[in-house]
């Protein structure tokens, strides 16, 4: 069991018009709403935020243009995953290696080889 949380941050801006934005988490092949999709004036102001990931899994930044199907949108965005302390991650990886738990290691951490 993890003793720490990851964070991720985002910034985005749309050109010319507003866009819908929300945050989702996938659990058991179903989407859980973390932040409901709402229209934001990202064409006027850079939108940004941070979320604490208390569960391991897939998180989705959702950009929605369904309210404005006659206007396409261009969005520039950056999303960054932040670990609170690299030492904790190293300790967890080393423990999984010592235990020979390759399945959990590959599920939790992206690897290029094992």
- How do residues 74-95 score in pLDDT, each as one tens digit? 999 999 888 766 666 777 778 8
More confident residue, 110 or 74: 74
49 pLDDT more than 60:
yes
Gyration radius (Cα) of the chain, Å: 18
Q: Token pair 């929300």 is at which residue?
A: 22
- Taken in order of first residue, the domains within the chain and their CATH numbers are 6-82 (2.60.120.680), 85-114 (no CATH)
Token digits of residue 40: 């934001």
63 pLDDT more than 90:
yes
Q: DSSP assignment, residue 68?
A: G
Q: What is the pLDDT of residue 1?
A: 36
Q: What is the pLDDT of residue 104?
A: 78
Arithmetic mean of pLDDT over the chain:
83
């Amino acid at each position: 069991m993890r003793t720490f949380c990851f964070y991720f941050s985002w910034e985005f801006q749309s050109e010319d018009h507003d866009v819908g934005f929300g945050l989702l988490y996938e659990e058991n092949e179903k989407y859980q709403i973390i932040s409901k999709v709402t229209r934001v004036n990202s064409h006027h102001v850079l939108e940004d935020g941070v979320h604490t990931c208390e569960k391991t899994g897939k998180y989705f930044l959702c950009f929605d243009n369904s309210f404005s199907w006659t206007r396409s949108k261009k969005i520039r965005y950056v999303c960054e995953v932040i670990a609170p302390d690299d030492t904790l991650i190293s300790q967890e990886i080393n423990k999984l290696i010592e235990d020979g738990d390759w399945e959990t290691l590959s599920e939790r951490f992206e690897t290029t080889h094992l």
